[in-house]
Chain A
Amino acid sequence: MKLLTCPLNGPRNITEFSYGGEFHHAPDSRTCDTKRWVEYVFFHDNQAGNVLEWWCHTATSYWFLAERNTVTDTVLRTFPASELFKQRVDFATQESSAKNDK
């Protein structure tokens, strides 16, 4: 059984995790064009080498990030999303202010 280290819960069997896709910073949905948004939602780099990915520990619904080498399938490190996201992203406020702009 493969093991993956959850930043909150420690090493756990890989069956306790779900893959959440490549990590990319989300473009601002209010200002970016449709092409850019479609690329963000549907397209993947599928890069050979070190990539950053979302993973979820399903027993706790805890989302975190993992740096993984896709050639050797080696996880280099895992870390909490709070290392990249320092403050809450409030989508509701963004949407309501966008409506007010119209």
Chain B
Amino acid sequence: MVSASPEHHLRRSQLYRIHQSAGAYFEDQDGTLSVSQYAGNADELGQARRLGLADLSTLSRIGFKGHGAPAWLHTQGVLLPEQPNQTLLQTDGSLLLRLSAQEVLILRALHPASALITQLQNQVSSAAAQHAYVLPRADSHCWLALTGEYAAQTLAKICGVDMRLHKFAQGDVAQTSVARVNAIVTRYALEADTPCFYILCDVSLAEFLWVSLIDTMLEFGGQPIGLATLRQLQPTKPSSPS
């Protein structure tokens, strides 16, 4: 497999040196570089189903805040959950997290062709006029995905919120402390029996959180996994809103 070189890309993860030393193969997609998979793990799909950690930091995301944000997002055809700390899957596969009554975060789908974020980015000037202010989250936060049957047990070691699957449902959001780092955690729908938690934290703490999570995962045999593997676990078309 031929790997793209992070040194020659402007849009790369803050964690790329760690990925390189772990034997990562990088893929270039629309000018951004993500880890496709890692060398030396013959069964990365099985790893993801057991316990895996993926770095999605180079995928696009955007946020909006302000007392006019919910109304403006409605005019853009965005679906909003009724309550804060809930998510709603959009028609293009993007995931919207309602962080408070007046703040949202939108994460693109794992598969290419999420149009919503591009559409909203093009409308930012009209948003400000209606008291909806853009938050460029792509550079402020790192974005990790913790997958597999031991994911909840891994989080139990480093997070005070009960994230066992029967307590922390699909679509729930917790803004809390993970390994003493302020983080946003939500459950995302992969294939039916593979739990997945998205974890976002301040980008300056990305390296600390990655190393902490990998260390925490050792007890359960956890390993890093690539985006190509994660995509195999997600249906191309979202079945229904979470």
Give the interface of A toward B (CB within 8 A).
Answer: 1, 8-10, 12-13, 15-16, 57-60, 62
Chain B at the A interface: SS class: strand
**Given A59-B177, A60-B99, A12 and B161 contact (CB-CB distance below 8 Å):** yes
Q: What bracket does the count of chain B residues touching chain A fall in? A: 10 to 19
State the CA gap A64–B100 with chains docked (Å).
13
Give the interface of B toward A (CB within 8 A).
Answer: 84-85, 99-100, 160-161, 174-177, 182-183
The closest CB in chain A to the CB of B176 belongs to A59
Smallest CB-CB A-B distances: 9 pairs: A59-B182, A13-B160, A60-B175, A59-B175, A16-B177, A59-B176, A9-B175, A59-B177, A8-B100
**Given A60-B99, A62-B100, A8 and B177 contact (CB-CB distance below 8 Å):** no
State the CA gap A1–B99 with chains docked (Å).
25
State the CA gap A15–B84 with chains docked (Å).
22
State the CA gap A93–B188 with chains docked (Å).
44
Ordered by A's residue number, 15 sampled pairs between the chains whose C-beta atoms are within 8 Å are A8-B84, A9-B85, A9-B174, A9-B176, A10-B85, A12-B176, A13-B160, A13-B177, A15-B177, A16-B176, A57-B175, A59-B176, A59-B182, A60-B99, A60-B182
Q: Which residues of A lie under 8 Å from residue B182 when comparing CB positions?
A: 58-60
Q: Which residues of A lie under 8 Å from residue B174 when comparing CB positions?
A: 9
Q: Which residues of B lie under 8 Å from residue A15 when comparing CB positions?
A: 177
Q: Which residues of A lie under 8 Å from residue B84 when comparing CB positions?
A: 8
Q: Of A1, A8, A57, A58, which contacts B160 at CB under 8 A? A: A1
A48 CB, min distance to chain B CBs, angstroms: 31
